[in-house]
Structure 1
Amino acid sequence: MITVKNAFILLMVLAVTLIAQPLSAVIRLPRLVSDKMVLQRDTELKIWGWADSGEKVTVRFQGKHYDTEANQKGEWSVMLPPQKAGGPFVMEVNELIIRDILVGDVWLCSGQSNQETPISRLTDMFPEINVSNNHMIRHYKVPTQNSVEDLKETIAGNAVWHSAIASEVMSWTALAYFFAQEAYQKYRVPVGMLVSSLGGSAIESWISQEHLKEFPQLLIDREALDSLRLVRRDKGAGKWMATDVDDSDWSTIQVPGNWRTNGMDVNGVVWYRKDFEVPTSMVGRHAKLYMGTLIDSDSVFVNGCFVGSTAYMYPPRKYNIPAGVLREGRNNITVKLTANSANGGFVEEKPYKIVGDEAEINLVGTWKYRVGMNLNEAGKYVKRLANLKSAGSGLYNGMIYPIKDYKIKGTIWYQGETNAGHPQGYATLLESLITNWRELWEMPEMPFLLVQLPNFMKKQMQPSDGGWARLREAQLQIAMNVPHTTLAVTYDVGEWNDIHPLNKKAVAHRLFLGARKVAYGEKLVSSGPVYKEMKIEGDKIILTFTETGSGLTSKEGVLKHFAIAGEDRKFVWANAVIKGGRIIVSSKDVAKPVAVRYAWSDNPEEANLCNKEGLLASPFRTDNW
């Protein structure tokens, strides 16, 4: 029989036993590694996170466990072997449980605002969105984090994965939704869309500093930045208020008095220290500290004990020194004085003293000081960092680098509007971005699906040039010359008066055709005709093409939007006809033609050359003017 006394003893033993057990450290996971995530199939998978140094970590998944421990920095990771498509699954990481995991294909979607157009804008055009009911496709939107100065190890915010059921689908971005739906319908494999994009962003924001070396105006002067950080750091913070600080090499200064009177050219922080003796009647007892008026803000310590702070210059400083702080022998008072735009110092004809019940200590006279931070030294570095706001890499640092360990199938890139005003160099930047990301993910053949800019702005009545036309050319150049890339031509689905056209379903379909070829290895026609070469025959120019599929044709009647020019470089509208798998271009106004352009304007919406599979030809020009 258990008596009350025995029960009490048993409870005490259990309590002591529980106290003696080491508490498991909190395991932290990246935001991406969470409920409803989609993991990339058929490749090794890294699961990573943070814990206390030395903490044992066990990951359990699909009936197997993987053990590791956190390193000295608190980082840990395990590698899972390639997994087959399927789910939902559960993963355990020590005491954490991650539910509803799918394994399939993960696509990174990046760029600017057309990449992140919300699905809610499209419900009138595509009402089926409102009754979406697909649990097997998922979406994660990486929160904005622009970090020009530093690489970030983690993404910002508290985003979560969403499935494509009616109650969650409005959290999706439109292009990602239609692409995922089509991919799932084709392969019946779960799809995860990882969207890391930002409206209005320029391509250089998404490229690392290392890969921007051909563009010095986009580089940050790292030496100047590091030096500026040192200048802006208070060298005394957390240290110089201690009683045992060696101040033997500090300079001396008279209090009261200001910095300039004492020959100090300082804009920042100056630390003051003074040793003093305490009368026996004040030892261990409460006292009042009068620090007159200080310019601008101060923090005051007595024997290392913080006694008060004031944020600006005008209030009189009256601080309490608690009982037990003042002691026999040597005592110390330390003042951290900050003045960022004024002449810092101790205002004259104000009281500077410690007052006890029976005695007081005069603090006027010689003090020691040392400059903790002088922002006047920052000017030369700030000048060298004048391009900090326009430099590249900010979104790469904050929104791409932190997700590098999350395995993906490939990338969908929809961007260019912001760079269309200065399209020179865009091809080099885009190739640098592709190389950069392939290296980051260690995927030298990572598929890149590119969206060519759609038609936008008012139609021109005469042949014209434009930044959007030249940027489309750069996008085509990369798609043709960089392996494992594909281009979705979209100049028929834009809107002249809206930079955010709504028909993202058509764009997604064309992207997926490219994905089927470069990512899934299917043999199919995924591109419209691409200009190959020209030949001049009298008053005509003969054009030949690749990617013709079943043959060249036109949408809706005669070919449109061809222009031709002679040596005067003045383009006029031309007649164009398909003959023998080639296109013959001419104009009665140009007797000796030398160049042809097709769909070459900001808004070439009437251009209609395509192959018999219905895929539009990319805009092109035969000249290099």
Structure 2
Amino acid sequence: MFSDGMVLQRGSAIPVWGMAEPGARVAVSFDGTTVEASADGNGAWRVELPARESGGPLVLRIDDGKAPRELRDVLVGDVWLASGQSNMEWPISQSADGEAEVARANDPLIRHFKIPKSWAGLPQWQLAGGDWVASSPDVAGQFSAVAHFFARELRASVDVPIGIIDSTWGGSSIEAWMDAGTQGIDGDGLVELARRLKLEDAQALAQARANLARWQLPADDTGWHVADLDTTQWDDMAVPTLWEAAGWNGMDGVAWYRTSVTLTADEARRGMALGVGRIDDTDTTWVNGIEVGSTELQYDAPRVYAVPAGVLREGVNAIAVRVTDVGGGGGIHGLPGELYAQPDGGMRRTLAGTWKFRPAEVTALSLDDNKNQRATLLYNAMIAPLQPFPIRGVIWYQGESNAGSIEQALRYREQFPAMIRQWRAQWNVPELPFLWVQLASWHSGGDQGDDSPWAVLRESQTATLALPATGQAVAIDIGDVADIHPKNKQDVGKRLALVARHVAYGETLVHSGPVFEGASFEGNLARLRFRGDWLAVRGGGALRGFQLAGEDRVFHPATATVVDGQMLTVRSDAVPAPVAVRYAWRDAPVDANLIGSTGLPAAPFRSDDW
């Protein structure tokens, strides 16, 4: 963390630590104060500088008598740790109005430090790398969008330098961010696992390099989409299959797929629907050399493209798909039934099977990306080395990877508060502000009527508000049901900043929508009590998203009415004697429209524990 351009936390004693020769005398000077310490028998040393108010730029000098270092352009302000999975990692350049937002990112008092993806079997004393970077349009495109918009809002309200430590990894589970002890994991076993994983990785990468060695990668793959391309020398690839399962382990970059479908003259005249499966991450698809569709950075969305009759011909029709993978798994995956050609009005025929395959560009060859689901490995390398670096608080956006089932989502109810307590204990700040984003709306495919893993995960997140100095930004109204990575990160950052202003900075302001407090049932009516902001309806009109159930536990849509500023009544003709009420209890509750007077949405809730 100690480098040019760094941001130090104001109002806290500032520890500085490192390694030197055993017994070396180390002097650390900062803003007119010098503190000294001697390295111990292992070479470790640490000093503590007195707390300082915001300011800078300053110089931090570390001198062991042999190779002094001067760190320049050091600011003192507020440092926030931003962690989680891809929605926190998501860059400004790929968010809504990305080009304009990058151009606006011209405040050099916002600094970002991106921790590289790294993992280890034991807690590390030092990060794998990283640099402090001052915000400017030249570099801001790759900054975490949520963290940057959060910092921008804070700059407007607290007017001090803001440092963001970005410790994120797309697709990561919460288990990867928790230490071994909290999860009851044997430390020696974890070291052995890490050793074995490194050995397996070396073997898998050797196989991938051998596969790549067969090909001379082109400087340009222009023309690989044409209808009559000769692919007889290309590799065979089972589709659907991720590259990693076919021996192309750890490859990020570009590869091409080719297959064909034979049509009658009548079928060609009708046009057809072409399903090319789920593609990790981006594709462009051609039929007979003509582009018919393209989807960017949606690794889990089935692609279906309409192919006009004018593109098709009687006989063999060539299909070409250019796939770009930017990290993690890559290739055409999903279900076999998602790969098909269906002439309009005709029978669907499968395209699952053996396609032709050839790599075109390799941007990385690394197996780091399969470690983000392994318990503790990310914590050891990406969180443990930060302590005891003082921070103002944590913002967290994670949970998608733990919402695969009801059981997973229920476990999160124990895991999430346990992780918060663990991080706070290791920073030795019992009420370190910890703020998070509740999962946005998305059609996960796991929503089975009343059983919604995403709804249960959201409930687990809300339950964690029982811990002190915590806060939640609700996002069910600003998601994208077709994209697990909603592009509107601006409102996410704004809502987190509102929560921070209340939880971390003590401001009295409306920072959340109405909060459900409880329900009572009388006859055919449910009465719901709320606290916080006054009740309102987004867009006006009728309230939506409510359900009632009787003793049979079968939920039915219900009508809700605002009685006064903080009470609702709910009824349903299908439920004459209700005993339970639910609101927004879906993976993607896009119709739910209960808000407060400031426009912030109420969080999903239920009165039952079924």
Q: What does 1:216-295 correspond to in 2, within 5 Å?
A: 219-220=185-186, 222=188
Say whether 1:406 aligns with 2:377.
Answer: no
Q: What does 1:384-533 correspond to in 2, within 5 Å?
A: 392-421=375-404, 422-457=408-443, 464-479=450-465, 481-533=466-518
Aligned to 2:81: 108
Q: What does 1:65-80 correspond to in 2, within 5 Å?
A: 65-80=34-49
* Alpha-carbon offset, residue 69 of structure 1: 2.1
Distance 1:186 1:602 in 2: 34
Aligned to 2:585: 600
Pick the aligned partner of 2:126 from 154, 161, 171: 154
Work out whether residues 202 and 418 of structure 1, in 8 Å CA contact, stay in contact via their aligned partners in 2: yes
CA deviation vs aligned residue, 1:155-194 (integer Å, no higher than 9, x gap): 113x211111112212311111101111111111000000
* Alpha-carbon offset, residue 91 of structure 1: 1.3
Pick the aligned partner of 2:117 from 144, 158, 165: 144
* Alpha-carbon offset, residue 228 of structure 1: 11
Aligned to 1:39: 8
Instruction: Go from structure 1 to structure 2 and tell me whether the alpha carbon gap of 1:221 and 1:209 turns closer, same or farther (over 3 Å shift).
Output: closer
Aligned to 1:567: 551
Aligned to 2:574: 589
Amino acid in the other structure paired with 1:620:
F
C-alpha RMSD of matched pairs (Å): 2.4
Work out whether residues 536 and 542 of structure 1, in 8 Å CA contact, stay in contact via their aligned partners in 2: yes
Instruction: Go from structure 1 to structure 2 and tell me whether the alpha carbon gap of 1:139 and 1:441 turns closer, same or farther (over 3 Å shift).
Output: same
Distance 1:107 1:497 in 2: 31
- Scaled by the length of structure 2, what TM-score is found? 0.67
Work out whether residues 182 and 509 of structure 1, in 8 Å CA contact, stay in contact via their aligned partners in 2: yes
Q: What does 1:113-124 correspond to in 2, within 5 Å?
A: 113-122=86-95, 124=97
Amino acid in the other structure paired with 2:489:
K
Work out whether residues 449 and 515 of structure 1, in 8 Å CA contact, stay in contact via their aligned partners in 2: yes
Instruction: Go from structure 1 to structure 2 and tell me whether the alpha carbon gap of 1:66 and 1:170 turns closer, same or farther (over 3 Å shift).
Output: same
Aligned to 1:195: 166
- Scaled by the length of structure 1, what TM-score is found? 0.66
Distance 1:225 1:125 in 2: 42
Amino acid in the other structure paired with 1:418:
S
Work out whether residues 499 and 511 of structure 2, in 8 Å CA contact, stay in contact via their aligned partners in 1: yes
Distance 1:389 1:192 in 2: 25
- Aligned to 1:115, what secondary structure does the other structure show? helix
* Alpha-carbon offset, residue 460 of structure 1: 11
CA deviation vs aligned residue, 1:9-47 (integer Å, no higher than 9, x gap): xxxxxxxxxxxxxxxxxxxxxxx1000100000010101
Distance 1:160 1:419 in 2: 31
- Aligned to 2:479, what secondary structure does the other structure show? coil
Aligned to 2:135: 164
Q: Which has the larger radius of gyration?
A: 1
Work out whether residues 462 and 573 of structure 1, in 8 Å CA contact, stay in contact via their aligned partners in 2: no
How many residues were matched structurally? Answer: 429
Aligned to 1:134: 107
Amino acid in the other structure paired with 1:154:
Q
Aligned to 2:177: 206
Aligned to 1:176: 147
Distance 1:64 1:228 in 2: 43
Amino acid in the other structure paired with 1:195:
D
> 109-118 vs 65-74, which deviates more?
65-74
Instruction: Go from structure 1 to structure 2 and tell me whether the alpha carbon gap of 1:553 and 1:223 turns closer, same or farther (over 3 Å shift).
Output: closer
Aligned to 1:262: none
> 127-136 vs 48-57, which deviates more?
127-136
Q: Which runs of 5+ in 1 are unaligned?
A: 1-31, 214-218, 233-387
Say whether 1:49 aligns with 2:34.
Answer: no
Amino acid in the other structure paired with 2:430:
P
Instruction: Go from structure 1 to structure 2 and tell me whether the alpha carbon gap of 1:461 and 1:500 turns closer, same or farther (over 3 Å shift).
Output: closer
Aligned to 2:29: 60
Q: What does 1:532-571 correspond to in 2, within 5 Å?
A: 532-547=517-532, 549=533, 551-556=534-539, 557-571=541-555
* Alpha-carbon offset, residue 197 of structure 1: 1.1
* Alpha-carbon offset, residue 610 of structure 1: 1.3
- Aligned to 1:133, what secondary structure does the other structure show? coil
- Aligned to 2:569, what secondary structure does the other structure show? strand
Identity among equivalent positions (%) equals: 42
Instruction: Go from structure 1 to structure 2 and tell me whether the alpha carbon gap of 1:460 and 1:597 turns closer, same or farther (over 3 Å shift).
Output: farther
Amino acid in the other structure paired with 2:402:
N
Work out whether residues 83 and 397 of structure 2, in 8 Å CA contact, stay in contact via their aligned partners in 1: yes
* Alpha-carbon offset, residue 390 of structure 1: 6.3
